[in-house]
């Protein structure tokens, strides 16, 4: 028994075993605990840490954003992170199967799938743009270094002197960069070469969200490459993705450190860092700042996406997910702050040399990472090499999250159908989801694609995440019952949840989320991109996307109530809320206490994920043991010999 518990703590890694066997043979498990932690870190630490967190700080007054961000992290982010991990690990099911806890709320799982679908579509478009920059960095001179290109405008002014001779050697280039920085023209409206490269060449942006223009074929090709990479890494599910994350989850920190060291050595970097850390307290009273903080917590940690439940469902039953949740959450938020230092040191350098405030040196929006970072890279010695490394890092950060988004959808589909055929052909499901995701992402590769990307980012993955998390918390704590869930967690981990998490799950987290949602609705402001104001019909589409995930909850609840047994509405409601008989640990050996099967004939029902072949083998072994006992009794009766092993009581 102690050996089994020790094996569970190590996520099933039994010392001395040459081959680690899966605990759940039907679904599979992580190879070891490290694979789960690295995958979860890769899932949480994504593009949002680089292009969304600094962007939200930049938009919400620098350091003023830190206060609501860390409050949301402590009282909402970490508790909900632990709640979702324990939820998925206990049931060993995806974001749909776990709602056997209260079948009426299965619509929450469908809402998670809708959110993951929206995010997966536009998230891979950002990855494909990183692929594009990666390929365009394979040159002697980065194309966004100077203003002498066909796509540049008269307002273009770079931090690297335009009089610099392009054909000089790279060694001479590094010595003359500092002198070239001072050659900046004062204009009423200055744009950098990297900004114009982003707008006029990469995006070739149109003047309206309804003016799609043409498909940007280079971006479309990179989108195909991105989806192919995601599919190949998930071709064997968690078995293949668990190996890939050893590299994708660790290498980005190497590049970030290099860029941080380079950034803080630049002139004016301290001004950008001050802007990053100094709070503008008047903005703390703005509900939108708090709404953005909550949205960023959910966006970055991955709460309410369904990914955390899915990844934890492949854990072994006794894995210490409480410890994992603390490690992953702290690592994620530390990375966000760390990336912010890198971004704002570069912004401070640019503002210093252009004699403008830090808030005016770059556009708002996800393009910040494709404007500020590329310009910073032109200042580094051997800039194409650093550009390759940086955009490769962006690709790895994005892929780590995209793996989990795709696996969330695939696991939900496979678990819901649950037939032997679809489990054997899970690769076909993965390929189908990838193809559909690619086709749905094609409109985002047009000239109006950036408008749609921002629309999806602001509406599809914003307040709907807050609603889903709040309802999930209420369902588990108040419908299923907090005492029942605390007992489940204690049975799984060997200790009850800490008091702080109990209080947050029951009271603090739902209250904070509810108030933020109310204030966000009251102080709602329509989305804009630079000087462009979105038309009303596009905002209606944005709200439709946001509501499409939330509306799944009441629609499925009404459907489940109508199909539940009972003479009155109240009886049907109780039946729909009551936990399903199959709710609980997936494997029979973990179904103890009130989850233990009541009769031997219910063994197959109580263990839905146990292989039928294993049950047949166990029955055969029992029959063979009975035959051996009968033979031993016959031998004793004939010649009087004893067999204490098979029959310890001959007189019987």
pLDDT digits (tens, 9 = 90+) for 267-302: 889 988 888 888 788 888 887 788 788 778 877 888
Asked if residue 454 has pLDDT above 60, the reply is yes
So what's the pLDDT on residue 631?
45
Q: Does residue 328 lie within any of the structural domains? A: yes
Instruction: Examine residue 169 and state whether it is found in any structural domain, yes or no.
Output: no
pLDDT on residue 491: 95
Band of the pLDDT at 621, cuts 50, 70, 90? low
Q: Dihedral through CA 397, CA 402, CA 407, CA 408, nearest 10?
A: 110
| Selected residue with higher pLDDT from 249 and 457 | 249
The number of distinct structural domains making up the chain is: 1
Annotated binding-site residue? 332: yes
If you search the block for the tokens 């994992």, which residue do you land on? 324
Q: What pLDDT, on the 0 to 100 scale, is given for residue 652?
A: 30
Q: Could you tell me the pLDDT band of residue 16, with boundaries at 50, 70 and 90?
A: very low
Q: What is the average pLDDT across 228-251?
A: 92
Per-residue pLDDT tens for 497-512? Answer: 999 999 999 999 898 8
pLDDT of residue 359: 75
Q: What is the mean pLDDT of the chain?
A: 82
pLDDT band at 407 (very low <50, low <70, confident <90, very high): very high
User: What pLDDT does residue 188 have?
Assistant: 46
Q: Does 397 carry a binding-site annotation?
A: yes
Band the pLDDT of 182: cuts 50, 70, 90: very low
Helix (H, G, I), strand (E, B) or coil at 533: strand
- Calculate the CA 276 to chain-centre distance: 25
CATH number assigned to the domain comprising residue 347: 1.20.1740
Instruction: Tell me the C-alpha distance between 505 and 483, whole Å.
Output: 12
pLDDT recorded at residue 186 = 42
Q: Please indicate, yes or no, if residue 520 is contained in any of the structural domains.
A: yes
631 inside domain: no
Q: What is the pLDDT of residue 367?
A: 66
In this prediction, residue 137 carries a pLDDT of 96
Q: What is the mean pLDDT of residues 440-445?
A: 97
Q: How far apart are CA 401 and CA 41, in angstroms?
A: 9
pLDDT on residue 10 = 43
Its domain, for residue 411, covers 63-148+192-563
Domain presence at residue 41: no
Per-residue model confidence as pLDDT tens digits over 579-592: 999 999 999 999 98
Q: Please say if the pLDDT value at position 54 is more than 90.
A: no
Query: What is the model's pLDDT at position 535?
Result: 95
What pLDDT, on a 0 to 100 scale, did the predictor assign at position 161? 60
Between 94 and 5, whose confidence is greater?
94
Ligand-binding site membership of 49 (annotated): yes
**H helices present in 355-498, as ranges:** 372-377, 383-417, 420-424, 426-441, 449-459, 463-474, 482-493
Write down the pLDDT at residue 169. 36
Alpha helices in 249-320 (DSSP H): 251-264, 269-277, 287-301, 307-313
How far, in Å, CA of 161 to CA of 348, rounded? 19
Asked whether residue 182 is marked as a ligand-binding residue, the answer is no
Tokens of 369: 């990472």
Is 319 a known ligand-binding residue? no
Does some domain include residue 437? yes
For residue 13, is pLDDT > 60? no
Q: pLDDT tens digit string along 184-207?
A: 334 346 678 998 999 999 999 999
Q: 300 a known binding residue?
A: yes
User: Known binder of ligand: residue 329?
Assistant: no
Q: 624: pLDDT confidence band, cut at 50, 70 and 90?
A: low
Which stretch of 6-15, 44-53, 185-194 has the lowest confidence by average pLDDT?
6-15
- pLDDT (tens digit, 9 = 90+) per residue, 56-86? 887 787 778 888 888 889 998 899 999 999 9
Whole-Å CA distances, 578 to 386, 510, 527, 555, 581: 57, 22, 42, 18, 9
Question: Average of pLDDT values for 481-492?
Answer: 96
Asked if pLDDT for residue 164 goes beyond 50, the answer is no
Look at residue 22 and tell me if it is in a domain.
Answer: no
Q: Is 624 inside any structural domain?
A: no
Nearest to 552 by CA among 179, 107, 106: 107
Of 375-389, 477-491, 548-562, the poorest mean pLDDT is in: 375-389
């Amino acid at each position: 028994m102690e050996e089994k518990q020790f094996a569970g703590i190590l996520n099933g890694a039994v010392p001395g075993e040459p081959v680690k066997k899966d605990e759940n043979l039907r679904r599979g498990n992580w190879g070891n605990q490290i694979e789960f932690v690295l995958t979860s870190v890769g899932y949480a630490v994504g593009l949002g840490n680089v292009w969304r967190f600094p962007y939200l700080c930049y938009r919400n007054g620098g350091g003023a954003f830190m206060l609501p961000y860390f409050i949301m992290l402590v009282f909402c982010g970490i508790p909900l992170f632990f709640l979702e991990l324990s939820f998925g690990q206990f049931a060993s099911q995806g974001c749909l199967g776990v709602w056997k806890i209260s079948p009426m709320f299965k619509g929450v799982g469908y809402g998670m799938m809708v959110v993951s679908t929206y995010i997966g579509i536009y998230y891979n478009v950002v990855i494909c743009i990183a692929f594009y920059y990666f390929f365009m960095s394979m040159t002697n001179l980065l194309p966004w270094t100077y203003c002498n290109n066909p796509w540049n405008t008269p307002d273009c002014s770079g931090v690297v002197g335009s009089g610099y001779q392009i054909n000089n050697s790279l060694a001479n280039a590094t010595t003359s960069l500092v002198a070239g920085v001072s050659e900046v023209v004062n204009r009423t409206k200055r744009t950098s070469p990297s900004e114009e490269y982003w707008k006029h060449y990469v995006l070739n942006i149109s003047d309206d969200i309804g003016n799609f223009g043409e498909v940007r074929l280079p971006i479309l090709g990179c989108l195909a490459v991105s989806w192919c990479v995601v599919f190949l890494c998930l071709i064997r599910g968690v078995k293949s993705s668990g190996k890939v994350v050893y590299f994708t989850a660790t290498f980005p920190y190497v590049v970030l450190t290099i860029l941080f060291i380079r950034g803080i050595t630049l002139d004016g970097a301290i001004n950008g860092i001050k802007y990053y850390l100094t709070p503008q307290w008047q903005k703390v009273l703005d509900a939108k700042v708090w709404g953005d903080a909550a949205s960023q917590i959910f966006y970055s940690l991955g709460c309410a996406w369904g990914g955390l439940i899915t990844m934890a469902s492949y854990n072994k039953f006794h894995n210490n997910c409480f410890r994992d949740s603390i490690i992953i959450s702290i690592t994620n938020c530390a990375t966000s702050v760390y990336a912010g230092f890198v971004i704002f040191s570069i912004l401070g350098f640019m503002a210093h040399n252009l004699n403008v405030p830090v808030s005016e040196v770059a556009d708002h929006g996800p393009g910040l990472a494709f404007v500020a970072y590329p310009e910073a890279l032109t200042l580094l010695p051997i800039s194409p090499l650093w550009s390759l490394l940086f955009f490769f890092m962006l690709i790895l950060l994005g892929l780590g999250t995209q793996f989990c988004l795709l696996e969330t959808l695939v696991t939900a589909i496979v678990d819901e159908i649950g037939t032997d055929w679809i489990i054997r052909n899970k690769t076909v499901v993965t390929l189908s989801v990838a193809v559909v995701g690619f086709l749905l992402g094609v409109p985002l590769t047009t000239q109006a694609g950036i408008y749609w990307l921002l629309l999806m980012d602001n509406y599809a993955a914003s307040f709907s995440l807050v609603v889903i998390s709040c309802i999930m918390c209420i369902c588990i704590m108040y419908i299923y019952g907090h005492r029942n869930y605390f007992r489940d967690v204690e049975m799984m981990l060997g200790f009850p949840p800490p008091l702080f998490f109990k209080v947050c799950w029951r009271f603090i987290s739902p209250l904070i989320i509810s108030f933020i949602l109310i204030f966000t609705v009251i102080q709602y402001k329509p989305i804009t991109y630079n000087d462009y104001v979105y038309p009303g019909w596009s905002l209606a589409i944005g709200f439709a996307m946001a509501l499409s995930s939330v509306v799944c909850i009441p629609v499925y609840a009404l459907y489940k109530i109508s199909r539940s047994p009972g003479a009155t509405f109240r009886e049907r409601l109780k039946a729909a809320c009551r936990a399903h008989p199959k709710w609980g640990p997936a494997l029979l050996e973990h179904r103890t206490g009130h989850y233990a099967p009541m009769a031997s004939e219910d063994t197959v029902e109580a263990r839905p994920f146990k292989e039928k072949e294993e049950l047949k083998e166990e029955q055969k072994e029992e029959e063979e043991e009975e035959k051996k006992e009968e033979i031993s009794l016959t031998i004793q009766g004939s010649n009087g010999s004893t067999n204490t092993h098979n029959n310890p009581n001959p007189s019987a």
